[in-house]
Structure 1
Amino acid sequence: MDISEETFITNLGIHIRQLREKKNMSQQDLANDCDIPKNQIGRIERAEINTSVKALVKIANALDVEPKELFDFSIK
């Protein structure tokens, strides 16, 4: 399967938002828990930036999921 980077990043952002909402967390809650600015969380969820692995590990820890679970989504 050949997907574009933009498609992958968009789907990753959507999935992170879904995981956050499933935990009943606001963007501010997530930002506080992983020490990442709230505006950066929003930019990740809207696929406006290609975030670092370091940030993804912080997000996974704050969401209490394994980092690999951030990538467990279907491409749309």
Structure 2
Amino acid sequence: MNTELSNEEFLIRFGGKLKKLRVFKNLSYRQMAQRCDLDYSYISKIEKGQHNIQLTTVLELSKGLDIMPKELFDF
């Protein structure tokens, strides 16, 4: 990973990875939201890099995707 990433670029890449995994699992925002107990609009904003989330949210997202949390950081 490039250690020269800005905070903004990191959030955008994280969001892109989240979207890629969600689409790969064929989940809509609403389906994903139900699986991880988050609002679907919040997930959309994360995917767009508009929110700096907490580690507990990373855990919820990974549960919703049925993956290990570290997979969300592989971008």
TM-score bracket for this pair, using the shorter chain length: over 0.9
- The equivalent residue for 2:54 is 52
Q: Deviations over 1:9-47 (max 9, x none)?
A: 000001000000000000111101000011100110011
TM-score scaled to structure 1, two decimals?
0.92
State the shift of 1:62 in Å.
1.0
- 1:3 is displaced (CA, Å) by 1.0
1:7 matched to 2:5 = no
Q: Helix, strand or coil for the counterpart of 1:65?
A: coil
Q: State TM-score, norm by structure 2.
A: 0.93
CA deviation after TM superposition for structure 1 residue 65, in Å: 0.7
Structure 2 runs not aligned, ≥5 long: none
1:7 positional shift: 0.4
Identity over aligned pairs, percent: 34
Alignment coverage as a number of residue pairs:
73
Could you list the runs of 4 or more consecutive aligned residues of structure 1 that deviate by over 6 angstroms after TM superposition? none
